[in-house]
Structure 1
């Protein structure tokens, strides 16, 4: 029997998002989640946790970091077992463990790397570490049979998601496309309302959620919310 891909969540800590950055104006504690994908005899890793940026950033977000090596060990793995890393984007809270993967391909969008090269997007030491092996993608790509990287710009211009085809239903690792699964659900429902001819005013749907939904996902998982989106019908 052919190996079936499996997705496993990794808890890599949390941080406090200040009220100035939340819709309700109150501070919110958010998890930092990464995902292991076992597929075709390989192990892929989607995001790598909260990095150490600088004293000002730590004071602003008050992070608690769980070491990636510890989380991998709990899954019976070491950094050397990971064949490919995919970062949804290159902010410090998604790339903290990247320096563990010298020589390992790290897939990013060219648009995201352009932001890094422009300066002030993310701490350079978390990106330009010895042995860094970034592979820049220009748009959508099937990086392995049944594994698709899909551009999902919004949070950053180079944000991307990972689509995992499974016999029991497609899983989308959406990263930080939305702050919460409920936000994604609201966006999905807004697109449905537009498609079914509801009268305006209505939210203006983005194009990329439509592309993700073309994969008919059974589950959508997020970087900063442990809740899971599932279709209602």
Structure 2
């Protein structure tokens, strides 16, 4: 079991605060019943989980996203911190070379969708999640090398990991929203070709921002990356 020391707690607090602050900078509205808007907080989550690792980054995401819901006035009618944290775990596990665990968590989320009546009715809904899972499985032996490879390889690997985490976040949110808002299959099908654009664009943006941050942090006299 991982123990958090004083420096660890401080890092978690700093990145949780970053997630809260970035949550005020909205990017685009999310189509759907939750009226959730993407913000730079989603990018900050990836920065946290990639720099700190799945455990500390996941904890920073849990604290930052739950506190951010209150700070931005969204309340807890829809617990967005749950999908955000699970999605962050997927990204963190994949980036930190725990690929089997990250893929298993994404696969379990897809399986959970089909346990719902609406999931069996809107059976095509997680098609991009299957594509992402297939990409991860197909490249699992090469992903670790790509993380340390050329700039293009590193960017491609991190973009895939970020997008996979965002898709897991999306599907967990869709599962939670079903009983809360009484959504129907037609409502999910209405965004069948909208949500992929949102998640892919945010995954690309996250990778584009995270890599320069990683490069900068690696030059500092701090032990952060890879913990």
TM-score, normalised to structure 1, is 0.26
Give 1 or 2: higher helix fraction.
2
Greater relative contact order structure (CA < 8 Å, 6+ sep): 2
TM-score (norm 2): 0.26
